Amino acid sequence: MPKKTPSFKFAKHDSIGAPAAEDDAEYLHDCFIDSGDFTLLRKMDDRRIIVLGRTGAGKSALFEQLKFEESAHVIKLRPTGLALTHVSGSDVIRFFSKLGINLDPFYKLLWRHVITVEILTRFFSQYNPSGGSLYDWMRSFFSGNDRKSKESRELIQYLETWGARFWNETEYRVKEITGKIENELADSLKATIGKDIFGVGGEKSKSFRIEESQKIDVITNAQTVVARAQIADLSKASSLLDQILSDRKKNYYVLIDGLDEDWIEDTLRYRLILSLIESAREFIGSRNAKIIIALRRDLIDRVFRLARTSGFQEEKYRGLYLPIVWNKENIIDLLNRRIEKLVRFRYTSKSVLLRDLFPSVIREQQIEDFIFSVANRPRDAIAFVNTCIDAASNKSKLTARDVLVAVGEYSRSRLRALADEWIVDYPELIDFAKILQNRSISFKMKIVKDNEIDDLVLDMLTRFDGRTGFLIEQANGVINGSIDRRSFLYTLFHVFYRVGLVGLKVSAEMKGSWVDDAGQSISIAQVDPETSVIVSQKYAYALGILPIE
């Protein structure tokens, strides 16, 4: 008689993978789901180069999968490894930035140099026919008899300008390029005002004030220094890549992630990110190099709001977006694949899927609908199922109670994660969210009473006395009479809508609207007393709106 396969039981520390893609090598590639985004990302001629998604939407997973499938031709960069702190620490850069000089051409040059050299260094390591140095090989490439055009001569001159230094490690290159612009700017200032204020340590520059009669000349000359030579260098770098990467089989992807990390002070970070986006746009015309940037919606909103210059048009960037939005079928497919892999890891051929391990119905919702209502992004779905598994050690199937106990813990962790995601814009977000506590899952704005608004405002201003920030300023406006109570309430709930804490329904005919990364659909002007609020089930348990037991 053949040996019977034992029935599956959850073991201690079982999981269906790590929520973070970088830590999920065991499951990510075997269980990868392409909802169409990966196919577009891989196409060299597709303009959608900004992978836009909330935390946990799967941006890093797309990058990891592309790196897995195109490993030889994928270059992944994180700003923390590019020595950009050298830029923020420059007395010269800081001085001219405060003066109002537009340093964006320099920032674009910096990105262009880093990206170009990363690609060419990777290319050289793979296709170097002579075994010589990269600099010598490049010079020989553009010195051939069939490359005597004016453009080729200019590229040789460009290479000789930077010399072998161009091909050093990234940190060295960033310092070298920054040092070049620092010297040119310092020289232009000295020529204009007749003195050097950037001596040892740049101490003079910290207290130096330019006379009004000299200011226009200083700004004009400095702006000329930034704009003049750098634009020419950018076009030469582009030609460099186009000529060398002429074989269409040699396509390179440069993936830039981690821009939401604390890698440089915020003001400069936003300017560098905007310059990076501009640099990536210029690569769109390249047949063999594609720059792809991962950004959270909240971060790109801050970049456009705080780094924009006169004449800035956000609309022209929308065609660059690849918004990552998941539907229920994709999420359930992802979970089924991972559950099946978990079972096959310890058992043989028996296929076990979500419905084999979970109750079919939770609180009158089909299990698939219930899971998607609390976890509509890959990271959330994986984290939620892992939390359920923790509650089911040595069981072959979860009970409804197991799931509800798990959803309580999961909901609290998601609420903390939401606070972390939006801490820059709304540091007191979760404290203001107490106005949602113990309400119904859906209610109209008009049921929130004036005295509830007053209590919330006074509580927040007492607890956070001396703090600044958007929500605190709004609360102060209520106290000093410059903002009407109801206007404050509509603004507050529109913030809740923007971060995904609630959905809004502005008329009886329409469905509830939820912000996703395809764009915001309800404006604050549409919010009124009859607007219905739907609290996200993901957070409703932590807010005491839905019972855990």
Which residues have CB under 8 Å from 215's CB, separation 6+? 99
Q: In this predicted structure, what is the pLDDT of residue 90?
A: 84
Pairing of strands 252-256, 289-295: parallel
Given pLDDT bands bounded at 50, 70 and 90, which one contains residue 165? low
Residue of higher predicted confidence among 203 and 106: 106
Tell me: pLDDT of 519 over 70: no
Predicted confidence band of residue 132 (pLDDT cuts 50, 70, 90): low
Structure confidence at residue 227 (pLDDT): 78
The mean pLDDT value of the chain amounts to: 85
Token pair of 426 as six digits: 């709304």
pLDDT at site 145: 44
What b/e string do you get for 67-106 counting C-beta neighbours within 10 Å, with b at 16 or more? eeeeeebbbbbebeebbbbbbbebbbbbbbbeeebbbbbb
CB atoms within 10 A of CB 416: 12
- Rounded CA-CA distance 253/71 in Å is 10
**Contact by Cβ (8 Å): 491, 497:** no
Per DSSP, the residues of 173-241 read: HHHHHHHHHHHHHHHHHHHHHSS----GGGHHHHH----HHHHHHHHHHHHHHHHHHHHHHHHHHHHHH
Average pLDDT over residues 488-517: 89
pLDDT at 447: 96
- How many percent of the chain have pLDDT more than 70? 85
For residue 7, what is the DSSP state? P
- As a whole number, mean pLDDT of residues 322-331 equals 94
C-alpha dist (Å) from residue 193 to 182, 226, 352, 368, 418: 17, 18, 77, 71, 51
Per-residue pLDDT, 144: 59
Does the pLDDT value for residue 518 go beyond 70?
no
Query: Percentage helix, strand, coil, to 5, in the chain?
Result: 60, 5, 35
* Unique residue bearing structure tokens 């490894």: 81
Question: Which of 84 and 528 is assigned the larger pLDDT?
Answer: 528
Distance CA 122, CA 137 (A): 14
Model pTM?
0.87
pLDDT of the residue at 2: 47
Better-scored residue on pLDDT, 315 or 240 = 315
pLDDT given for residue 152 in this prediction: 63
Q: Which residues neighbour 488 within 8 Å (Cβ) at sequence distance 6 or greater? A: 453, 457, 474, 475, 477, 478
Residue 223 sits at the vertex; the CA angle it makes with 195 and 190, to the nearest 5 degrees, is: 10
Q: Measured in whole angstroms, how far is the alpha carbon of residue 437 from the centre of its chain?
A: 30
Phi, psi of 128 (to 5 degrees): -75, 110
Phi and psi of 212, rounded to 5°?
-55, -35
Q: For residue range 440-473, what is the model confidence (pLDDT) as tens digits?
A: 999 999 999 999 999 999 999 999 998 989 999 9
